A and B are shown apart, each in its own frame.
Chain A
Amino acid sequence: MTPDINELNREMKDVEQAVAEALDYAGKLGSSAVECAISRSRGINVGTRLGEVETVEFNQDGALGITLYRGQHKGSSSTTDLTPAAIRAAVEKANDIARYTSADPHAGLAPAELMATDIPDLDLCHPADQSAEFALEQALQCERHALKQDERIVNSDGAGYSSHVGYRVYGNSHGFLAGYLQSRHSLSCALIARSGEAMQRDYSYTVGRRREELWTPEQVAEDAAQSTLARLDSRKIATAKVPVLFRADVANSLFGHLVSAISGGNLYRKSSFLLDHLGKQVLPEWLTISERPHLRGGLASSPFDQEGVATQARDIVADGVLQTYLLTSYSARKMDMQPTGHAGGIHNWEVTHQDKSLQQLCKEMGTGLLVTELMGQGVNMVNGDYSRGAAGFWVEQGEIQYPVEEITIAGNLKEMLCNIVAIGNDVDLRHGVRTGSVLVESLRIAGT
């Protein structure tokens, strides 16, 4: 039940042919430029709960997206039906739409000279057993182990295992046509613990392109159990202004907001709190963020972006100074700059860290809040105002005192990013942004 990589490669070649035909057909309809992508994936997703099988889902997903230009007029369409007739219909629909949209001087493909010329093998596809038996055993083993951890764990929200393989093919009328295979496997477990009347839920997960690099079911179980139990008997705290330590698994969200703030779409719309900050200080001087798109087996690795632009290793922020915006070809033209290979997002950011454990960071903080959960969308990208629900732990003199919940933390992102005091060595490798825990100088906490 393990997908055969040669077969996947053959299938991807057929899909490349389908993309080539779509591009060709668009040309025949009189388009001046066209781009087309097809991605497909298949696999299994299972869930267990309280030692029993809950769901077995066989997934197979695919979609084609086409964007076509008649001069500077753009039309787009997409379909999940990948039969030749449906693909032709999608091309025709995009062509029709381009008859109605306005001429946009900035519309078009990315420049031909930026297309990826050789496609490095980034080692992104490692198929694994996709049988229901194997998948269920992973989840059952994890959940069984979790439920044994402590008698206060009274319920389970289930364990899940998933394994998928697939590919992405992209081509455009510059003559670019390439694809690559990829895989993704994950195991997760969510638990419910009780103390008196109050229940708490938490979870853990592991994810990777190779099944072998996943944590063991026991590791996931123990991590989930520990997190859930630690939340029991949470309290509210008084409204205050204190330093805040974002644990690594939530700290990446701070850099996620940075991604939005330096993305072309928000910049040319003047909807970012970091307008005109290229070459300026946006983080403390000791902090550098490097992007590594060609990291072998990386979760966010990619040889080219969604417009075929070659991705390249670079510093995003060096010594606290912003080195580049994140631009698609459209936003680049709007801003009179060059595309940066970020159509579709970022590729493995590595954030500087210091040689400090989470415990040492707590010591450095002294008295303050360790945040382990953030809730809600209270971020205003236009002005950087930040106000989100939070849960975590109250820390005094460097020691965790008790769990905290039902509070908010608020500040302004521009200041928060500049006021990062330290970053730990507890780097979370499960995200596109790889960072350790982040200590921020001072934020407003609203509680009782």
Chain B
Amino acid sequence: MSSKLQSNQQLNQQVEANLLHQHELDIDALQQSLQSIYSGAIDFADIYLQSSVNESWVLEDGIVKDGSFHIESGLGVRAIHGEKTGFAYADAITPAALRQASAAARGIANDGAQATMQALQVRSQSERYQPLNPLPSLDEAAKIDLLREIDAFARSLDPRVVEVIASISGSYDEILVAATDGTLASDIRPLVRVNCTVLVEQNGRRERGSSGGGARVGYSYFSDPINELPRWQTYAKEAVRQALVNLDAREAPAGTMPVILGAGWPGVLLHEAVGHGLEGDFNRKGASAYAGKIGEMVASEHCTIVDDGTLSNLRGSLSVDDEGTPAGYNVLIEKGRLVGYMQDKLNARLMGVEPTGNGRRESYAHLPMPRMTNTYMLAGEHDPADIISSVKKGIYAPHFSGGQVDITSGKFVFSASEAYLIEDGRITAPVKGATLIGNGPDAMAQVSMVGNDLELDSGIGVCGKDGQSLPVGVGQPTLKLDALTVGGTA
């Protein structure tokens, strides 16, 4: 939303050189390969080229024990006929690999009449992040120093901190996609991440706390001041705080009760309870609890939920998706009413709608699918303090470790890693982590108060679907569900 628009009618020349020219390929070669696949029996085909490098450095026991570096490049060719997809890939970018993969992918359909594809053409796209390589944005010695500083700082915060694991990682991805619908697009995607995990011990009881963040930027992001502290210090403080809270946690209650979720990362609720169920593939197939419900109320009137890949520099943001479609700001649920699904090209075409910029793939060796970017609920009008004081007996959960959903039945779980009892409108004792379970549409109908404190998560989300992992973002304001099942032991 806040990203500057740039007319960019040319492929990024660096990407074109790295992914094509270096391998004796050019745009004409892609056009010819696509044309060779395209016939009356093939509706659509695309070629995806990718080169990526990533690194990570880990500190433990006060020393940087290991550093690792990974390099990967390859191409994938996909051909679609109706609902059928043929797919082949190669872990090398060569003219021969392109020929072989194209021939294998097109085998999905019998020969038909030759048709002429759209000429490849670059369209304008907005840059949602700088096309930079984060890996050299800090030299190796400085990366190691940062980890040492995190270690020393975390240990200085409390004598009960007995172990610190700090890590820094970065990746740099260049992609290029060309398709028979004329799409020709490139993207350069930086991504960095820092994490701090601490173990605290008191009277023989041990608890862990973990915090971190990241974005599509260079490593200097972690030194930017947040309330006058370098950002990495906020991670260390948060990890220590969470671990210490859990030292005092008592057994969590069991049963159905009012639940207040904190702002930010607890938006994992929306990712599981709503997001996956609104991905186009599940709905085209009628496999989702939300299938066929466009226009119906699927949440309380307080809920407006969007998937937004356009936010500057965020972990889940994209300039273009992996099919070359510009990322979008897509309203999924508006005041409780279902208004749209997230689509890739295949499912959009079969459902007679437009792609929404949600066609994503883990790599050239994986098929694109409709996937989330940054999924969040818009702010409401309530002061978070008023939301807390409205609950007589329930729990308040500001931190979660992750979740899972069964798309078809709508059942979802997510696990609190920090939670408190609410008694007579006040947050009282911390309770142990517990799993919360509900049914997407039913749970969302229970949302009765939405805070005015919308926050996005700090840049830590990884979403898995069909074995493919992708970076995503989530967010929400503080919100209250009148009834949700809490899986404690008490």
Contacts and interface: CB of A to CB of B under 8 A. Distances in A.
B285 A387 contact: no
B69 to A, nearest CB: 4
Nearest to A377: B402
A83 interface: yes
Given A93-B69, A445-B254, A271 B104 contact: no
Contacts of A239: 254-256
A3 to B, nearest CB: 16
Interface in A46-68: 49, 52-62
A414 B73 CA distance: 45
A80 B54 CA distance: 13
A194 B489 CA distance: 33
Interface residues of B, number: 78
Contact of B72 (A53, A76, A80): A80
Interface string A366-406: 00000000011110101101011101000000000000011
A157 B74 contact: no
Contacts of B125: none
Contact of A54 (B83, B205, B206): B83
Given A77-B70, A410-B489, A201 B437 contact: no
Interface string B434-461: 1111110000000000000000000000
B65 interface: yes
Contacts of A97: 67-69, 140
A200 interface: yes
A114 B144 CA distance: 34
Contacts of A231: 409
B256 to A, nearest CB: 5
Given A54-B85, A55-B367, A380-B433, A405 B69 contact: no
Contact of B435 (A79, A378, A383): A378
A411 interface: yes
A429 interface: no
Nearest to B68: A76
B178 to A, nearest CB: 20
B65 A201 contact: no
Contacts, number: 248
A185 to B, nearest CB: 17
Interface in B167-225: 199, 201, 205-208
A133 to B, nearest CB: 10
Given A55-B85, A94-B69, A385-B432, A447 B64 contact: no
A82 B72 CA distance: 10
Given A81-B71, A86-B71, A407 B437 contact: yes
Interface in B420-434: 432-434
B403 A376 contact: yes
A80 B71 CA distance: 7
Nearest to A412: B489
Contact of B163 (A192, A270, A377, A387): A270
Given A157-B287, A192-B287, A446-B254, A410 B434 contact: yes
B131 interface: no
B146 to A, nearest CB: 13
Instruction: Give the one of B66, B140, B208 with max A CB within 10 A.
Output: B66
Interface stretch (A28-36, A100-108, A256-264, A308-316): A100-108
Interface in A152-171: 155, 157
B437 A406 contact: yes
B25 interface: no
A388 B403 CA distance: 10
B295 interface: no
B84 interface: yes
B252 interface: yes
Contacts of B404: 375-377, 389
A57 B88 contact: yes
Interface in B152-166: 162-163, 165
Interface in A80-121: 80-83, 86, 89-90, 93-94, 97-98, 100-104, 107
Given A79-B71, A101-B64, A57 B87 contact: yes
Contacts of A448: 255-256, 485
Interface stretch (B8-16, B310-318, B411-419): B411-419
B435 A201 contact: no
A102 B63 contact: yes
Interface string B68-92: 1111111000000011111111111
B282 to A, nearest CB: 9
B230 interface: no
Contact of A406 (B65, B70, B438): B438
Interface in B454-481: none
B118 interface: no
Contacts of A406: 411, 437-439, 485
Given A76-B69, A385-B489, A387-B415, 19 more contacts: A55-B367, A62-B91, A78-B71, A80-B74, A80-B91, A201-B408, A239-B254, A270-B206, A375-B413, A376-B437, A382-B207, A387-B435, A407-B485, A408-B413, A410-B252, A410-B254, A444-B254, A444-B489, A445-B254
14 contacts: A49-B83, A55-B85, A56-B86, A76-B66, A76-B68, A201-B408, A269-B60, A270-B201, A375-B406, A377-B401, A377-B404, A378-B401, A378-B435, A389-B413
Across chains A and B, which 4 residue pairs bring their CB atoms closest together, nearest first? A408-B487, A389-B413, A201-B408, A376-B413
Interface of A: 49, 52-62, 74-83, 86, 89-90, 93-94, 97-98, 100-104, 107, 132, 155, 157, 192, 198-201, 231, 234, 236, 239, 269-271, 375-378, 380, 382-383, 385, 387-389, 391, 405-412, 444-448
